[in-house]
Structure 1
Amino acid sequence: MTRILTIVGSLRAGSTNLQLAHTAQELGAQQDLTIELYQGIAELPFYNEDVDTPETVPAEAEAFREAITVADAVLVFTPEYNGTMPAVLKNAVDWASRPFGASALLGKPLVVAGSAFGQYGGVWAQDEARKAFGIAGASVLADPSVAIPGSLQRFAENHPRNDDEVTEQLRSLLVALKIAVENKEQVQEATAAV
């Protein structure tokens, strides 16, 4: 069973991106995927290297890193705030990227998707998130890409799970992540056999 950790870059209870994450969970269950929604990024303090030591690292940061470590892949949903990803998501990237050289994200297959109010669906935020997660060590998949525009109108009376186009796009993301995990495992097995 492939384990995927989902991180949502919005803290709103009614967030469309949170609804997308819940829809992905439902779809994942149909594909032998265990999708865990990580709910603690709001509790992460602002990253500060002074407290990121073995003696003083916050428990919230340790829990976050452990959740990434035990996952086979990561699925990120982000809104777009002022043309980029929300600060809470960037802060999560910073915590996940450390300790330097031993990031919990190192080599982890990761996909970024999302929805936003604007006409482009948050592509700038997604590009920034891909860049940051990639620099942090994740193996970021560029395709398939899911950027859903006009979230306020599109989902005003309709949950993403009831939108056939959206569910098909999310299925494609999940298949891509599952294949990436399987390919990574095959490479590891081949390397271990040498």
Structure 2
Amino acid sequence: MTGSKIFAISGSLRADSHNTRLLHAARKFTPVDQQIEIYEGLRDIPPYDYDLDTPELRPAIVEDLRRRVSEADGLLIATPEFNYSIPGVLKNALDWLSTDWTRTEGLPLHRKPTAILGAAPTNFGSVRAQLALRQVFVWTESDVVVKPEVIVFRSHERFDADGNLTDETTVELLRGLLTALQDKIDAR
């Protein structure tokens, strides 16, 4: 398959987020023909509310997010690590994406080819956050790339002053991750 549509979400709201920068690097360094769309609406998603989780009542931004994930060939998520886990805003978005109480719409994350990466300024990077995120995807039965793991530790040393990824090891791991994601997409 050529021209795969990848929907990318950064779990960080920070303006100079290293995780968002990783997604921009993914656009630049993709080794295959992938169109990577980086989502910019995470901040605006309201808290998950079961009472509103029907096609008729869901907020428009949530319906848009669900549609975009459903239409994408694959999902790419960059997560920072907060308190040994994923940020609440990211978990909230995934909660909105993981349901189909009416059993009529389908589940946007079900069997969705998905790749995870993350950056943090610590010596462990986003190891624990990625483990927590993988647990979420067990429930949704998403088809998650297992290797390579892209855990960018000491992330402040991996980008230049303009926000460009300069670490060659990270670039190669990123290329490997995107290739593995494409392999999962092609296997569908």
Q: Aligned to 1:11, what secondary structure does the other structure show? A: coil
Q: CA RMSD in A?
A: 1.5
**Matches of 1:52 and 1:124, distance apart in 2:** 29
**Matches of 1:162 and 1:143, distance apart in 2:** 22
**Matches of 2:164 and 2:131, distance apart in 1:** 22
Deviation at 1:157, TM superposition (A): 4.0
**Matches of 1:134 and 1:160, distance apart in 2:** 33
Structure 1 length normalisation: TM-score? 0.89
Pick from 21, 24, 44 the counterpart of residue 22 of structure 1: 24
**Matches of 2:15 and 2:148, distance apart in 1:** 27
What residue in structure 2 maps to residue 91 of structure 1? 92
1:5-154 to 2 correspondence within 5 Å?
Answer: 5-28=7-30, 31-100=32-101, 102-154=106-158
**Matches of 1:46 and 1:132, distance apart in 2:** 17
After superposition, give the CA deviation of every residue in 1:95-123 in whole Å (9 maximum; x if it has no partner).
11011463101111101111112111110
Q: Gaps (5+ residues) in structure 2? A: none
Q: Percent identity?
A: 38
* Partners of 2:145 and 2:177 within 8 A in 1: no
Q: Gaps (5+ residues) in structure 1? A: 185-194
Q: Aligned to 2:187, what secondary structure does the other structure show? A: helix
Deviation at 1:135, TM superposition (A): 1.1
**Matches of 1:174 and 1:154, distance apart in 2:** 19
What residue in structure 2 maps to residue 164 of structure 1? 168
Structure 2 length normalisation: TM-score? 0.91
* Partners of 2:159 and 2:165 within 8 A in 1: no
* Partners of 2:158 and 2:165 within 8 A in 1: no
Runs ≥4 in structure 1, deviation > 3 angstroms? 153-160
**Matches of 1:174 and 1:162, distance apart in 2:** 18
**Matches of 1:8 and 1:170, distance apart in 2:** 15
Q: How many residues align?
A: 183
Higher share of residues assigned helix:
1
After superposition, give the CA deviation of every residue in 1:32-83 in whole Å (9 maximum; x if it has no partner).
1111101112111110110112221110110000110110010100000111
1:175-194 to 2 correspondence within 5 Å?
Answer: 175-184=179-188
Q: Aligned to 1:50, what secondary structure does the other structure show? A: helix
